[in-house]
A and B are shown apart, each in its own frame.
Chain A
Amino acid sequence: MEEVDVEPSTTLIPSAGFHRKHLGFEWGPGDLLVYETNYKLQGSPFVHIVRRDEDICSPILRKLFNESHLIFVGLQKIKEDIPSKNKKSQFVSISKNYRSVIRACMEELQQNAGKRSHDTHHVSILLAIELIWNLCEVLFIDTAPAGSLLLHLLDWVRLHKSDVDARAREVLQSDSPAQHQSYWDVVISLVLQGRTDEARQVLSKQASLREESSSVFKSMDGLLQTMPIFNPTGTQTLTEFEVKWRHWHEECDRCLQENTFASNRHLETICKILVGDEDTLLEQKELLSTWYHFLVTRLLFTHPTIKPPDLHYYAQSSMNMFLGPRASPEPLDIILLSAFEFDLHQVIKDCSIALNNWWFVAHLTDLLDHCKLLQSHNLHFGSNLREFLVLEYASGLFTHHSLWQLAVDYFDHCPEFGRVYLELQIERVPLDTERKAIKVLRICEDRQMSEQVRSICKIMAKRALRNNRLGSALSWSIRAKDAAFATLISERFLQDYSNKGSFTDLDLLDNLGPAMLLSDRLTFLGKYREFHRLYGEKRFSEAARLLLSLMTAKIAPRSLWMTLLTDALPLLEQKEVIFSVDQTYELMSCLEELNSGTKDSNLTDQDEDIESTKTELLRLALARNLTMAIVKEGTIET
């Protein structure tokens, strides 16, 4: 494909670069920060936020994005194995769905158009988009054969030149339609669009008024009535139609030769149109308003059985005839012309340049790709073009604070780079709230993006810890499977406990389950809390067993043994014996092991006093318990 050099667009930064020197920049989320770094600084420097995609922000286009997303996802689900004949009708209906979304969006914008000039701009873009899309649908997706092709083109022109209907209504609803100044414009416009029945209806208004010339009107009525229209569903063959049409054409020609309509110049004009007289057609420029209307009308009255490959010749010549030799075609003209030439890639390329809107090219190209049209045209980069455009569109969506969720599905359907793009984009989604974080997390989890999952959890854990929300920090670090961080938070929990004497976030601690195995300290925290729960529920012997095992199995850190032993005190002081003889011995050995260790030299004298008092108390309690246990155990045995 030929690369056309397009001048890059220039964006001016207000009040910057007085000396035309030095802008610094930084990439941002869908925008670019630009700042002056001019040395000859006057006043305070500015940082400018330059946005790239303005359409993303429009609340009405948002509807377009949302609804087309559903169509896109539906299209991706069309199975490969359906016979291609059935697929074609599916693709046409999908194409129509896309267009109806554009239309709905356009109508909504039109209602607001008076209020904001911004919307008027959008309306004109959407109009162009719909026009191009519709033509592509006719030419590429529906691929109508000769005969039907012209019927589709007529529908296309009628849809996009709909002011005829409004004017017709206006004329017919007036007091005396035949006298209305737009009367003949309406009749001719209808004829130009091949709407002969409607033209006849309007003509009948005039005929009934002019008794004297009724025969002339009757002749015209006859010509219009007998104009053959190809019926693709009927039994008639194309050749039969052509014979019939040629016969009708000769009839029109004869009327002209015989000056049948010489008495009425309007009817004469209509007759000339019917025979396809190019000069007469060109005289109707204002009513036709565009070269492609001219093209379709010209074909209707000269080559109604036009074949697709011949289109481009008529398109080119119609454009030249209509615009004149000196006028330079607009981008839209070039795009339509490329379409008539069946140059798909040129259409897509010119659209992406002219429209500055990835929505259109991405969706159209995706649809055309599903129709297997891109490969046949230009072999080796067909699927890449589709993916390239879909990636661009989806990346744009990611700059929006809620539309990014749509982009996920688009990335999912880009086999080559979709996943890595999603990975790069999704980790940048601001995790403003826990809810949003969970939303992002779920998307990553569904796609087994383990690194992103870990990172998000870690960020959330870190943030929760900063804000002293220990429970949340712990649950996030468990989700992140971050053992080191879980250890750190567990320690903070224990610290809190030794300061306050109670645990926070009981719900979480009581329901750790197997998650507590993530780190030793977390296991201890969970088990220690379990001890407190058992104790609270007065399940003393279970509590005692657990407490002891925490020390003997070395789950509890040595620094906490004294706390644990102190926790044992009330159990030792109970009336009934809770610790057995063996257990008491074990407790004693724990206490001795603790005391035999190196003493913390940092302890003040006062602290040391407290420690030694505690030890004494424990020893006493242990000894008492031992006595009772021996007695009890002995009693039971005998």
Chain B
Amino acid sequence: MFVAKSIAADHKDLIHDVSYDFHGRRMATCSSDQSVKVWDKGDDGEWRCTASWKTHSGSVWRVTWAHPEFGQVLASCSFDRTAAVWEEIVGESNDKQRGQSHWIKRTTLVDSRTSVTDVKFAPKHMGLMLTTCSADGVVRIYEAPDVMNLSQWSLQHEISCKLSCSCISWNPSSSRAHPPMIAVGRDDSNVTYSGKVQIYEYNENTRKYAKAETLMTVTDPVHDITFAPNLGRSFHVLAIATKDVRIFKLVPLRRESANSSGPTKFEVQVMAQFDSHNSQVWRVSWNITSTLLASSGDDGCVRLWKANYMDNWKCTGILRGDGSPVNGSGHAAPLSAVGVPGAAQMLVGATSAGRYFFPHLDSPRAGSRLAHLLPPPSLIEHMYEPDPSHAPQISHRHTASEHD
């Protein structure tokens, strides 16, 4: 592995998420500077920023692309308690000449009363559906009934998970044998609700999502969760970022005819567990065919995990900063002369799995479950309607950051 290119992202604050589009020709970045930027890969292989706009009035946690069948559509979610849907419109000719594109807001989803921590589009076979989860513990599923009109979204389902949700992942399987399924991770440190990962499944009869499984063995806060592509298998594979990296196998059990209306029951097996980060893990993500899992943690490393043909998992690569200080923005030139081919084809399957990486300087303590919701100090001024209950944690944060 080698660094082929470095791009100055030109965000004024830290980046929370980067997301490739389905074909890997575009990417979107989002940041604490409240903006989203879209980058397009030219025929020469160079990335150019073609749009940059203020999207929210708080840190933007995640940005994600809809499947191109639905056009050029982005969704973002933010500390400002909203999620938003953006669509690129074919711009004026002078826009094109300047190499700029135009994105307009199609809708703002305002149902959450707290920070919206994750946003994901559902698998395309379900239609155009968007899911959010928020710090108040609610997962919301929206649908655009008319794919030609993205300004209308209706809230289809609200799933209450009780405690702060940090991440969601749809099961990508389009097999008829598998009803729609969503996994939710929680990052609260409440010990009485110990299973931090819950699996919800859609029930055709009740037309509702019902809890199918709680992974009781996951007792520490979960920061990211992601299903692997199904590969036509009968079981599901789920990777989880918690105090370590875990890979679970969910084997649906044969339904008994008596309670066939109930949710599927699963046999849960741990396929692998890696503690090499030796610290909090923030993000996990599969490549397109799920032959590789990447994870990043508080050790400052991105680690790549790979199973051999006998299903033995191993770390096959580590990415780590070289520790040199950042020397301004004049560094954007390609670092390697190696020609990168103009078109890059496969984008890797798992959708963005960005996580807010701002200072988790110490592990959240019991009773400070909202601690991680606080924006970095530079953004405090953008916080509106500060909840008085947050105040002590703000000071707690500051104190903590001084120790770092």
Contacts and interface: CB of A to CB of B under 8 A. Distances in A.
B181 to A, nearest CB: 19
Nearest to B87: A466
B352 interface: yes
Contacts of B1: 9, 11, 32, 50-52
A425 interface: yes
Most chain B CB within a 10 A radius of its CB, from A1, A11, A118, A395: A11
Interface string B313-329: 01111111111111111
Given A8-B304, A11-B3, A35 B71 contact: no
A630 B278 CA distance: 97
Contact of B283 (A13, A16, A24, A459): A24
A10 B3 contact: no
A19 B68 CA distance: 38
Interface in A15-67: 15-52, 54, 56-57
Given A24-B283, A27-B347, A14 B300 contact: no
Given A8-B315, A28-B24, A488-B148, A42 B326 contact: yes
Given A25-B285, A29-B348, A57-B338, 18 more contacts: A14-B6, A23-B321, A24-B282, A27-B294, A27-B349, A32-B302, A36-B14, A39-B357, A42-B326, A45-B9, A45-B11, A48-B5, A48-B6, A50-B319, A57-B340, A401-B343, A417-B231, A455-B67
A509 B347 CA distance: 36
B376 A39 contact: yes
Nearest to B321: A17
B2 A54 contact: yes
A46 B345 contact: no
A451 interface: yes
Contacts of A35: 9, 15, 18, 29
B13 interface: yes
A420 interface: yes
Contact of A44 (B8, B298, B340): B8
Most chain B CB within a 10 A radius of its CB, from A26, A35, A432, A466: A26
Contacts of B20: 26-29, 33
Interface of A: 1, 3, 8-52, 54, 56-57, 118, 381, 384-385, 387-389, 391-392, 395, 398-401, 404, 417, 420-421, 424-425, 427-432, 451, 455, 458-459, 462-463, 466-468, 488
Nearest to B287: A27
A520 B23 CA distance: 33
Nearest to A431: B23
Q: State the majority secondary structure of interface residues on A.
A: mixed
A49 B4 CA distance: 6
B318 A26 contact: no
B68 A15 contact: no
Contacts of B315: 8
Most chain B CB within a 10 A radius of its CB, from A27, A388, A463: A27
B318 A24 contact: no
Q: Nearest 4 CB-CB pairs, A to B?
A: A17-B321, A27-B348, A37-B357, A401-B343
B144 interface: no
Given A24-B355, A47-B7, A381-B309, A8 B318 contact: yes
B15 A36 contact: yes
5 contacts: A25-B18, A34-B319, A35-B29, A49-B340, A428-B347
Interface string B268-303: 000000000000001101111101001010111111
A46 B124 CA distance: 32
A560 B304 CA distance: 61
Contacts of B15: 24, 35-37, 45, 47
B26 to A, nearest CB: 10
Nearest to A49: B5
A392 B300 CA distance: 28
A421 B309 CA distance: 15
Contacts of A404: 345-346
Contacts of B294: 25, 27, 32
Nearest to A455: B69
Interface residues of B, number: 104
Most chain A CB within a 10 A radius of its CB, from B7, B69, B320: B69
B3 A49 contact: yes
Contact of A381 (B12, B29, B148, B310): B310
Given A18-B323, A51-B340, A466-B71, A428 B18 contact: no
Nearest to B69: A458
Given A9-B317, A27-B350, A35-B18, A50 B288 contact: no
B131 interface: no
Contact of B346 (A8, A24, A38, A398): A398
Given A15-B325, A425-B346, A462 B3 contact: no
A43 B11 CA distance: 9
Contacts of B355: 24
A340 B50 CA distance: 58
B7 A398 contact: no
Nearest to A484: B147
Nearest to A384: B309
B103 to A, nearest CB: 13
Interface in B17-36: 17-20, 22-25, 27, 29, 31
B232 interface: yes
Most chain A CB within a 10 A radius of its CB, from B27, B301, B323: B323
Contacts of A432: 343
A598 B279 CA distance: 70
B11 A44 contact: yes
Contacts of B357: 22, 24, 37-39
Most chain B CB within a 10 A radius of its CB, from A51, A54, A463: A51
A18 B345 contact: no
B285 A45 contact: no
B42 to A, nearest CB: 12
Contact of A31 (B4, B304, B342, B354): B4
B3 A14 contact: yes
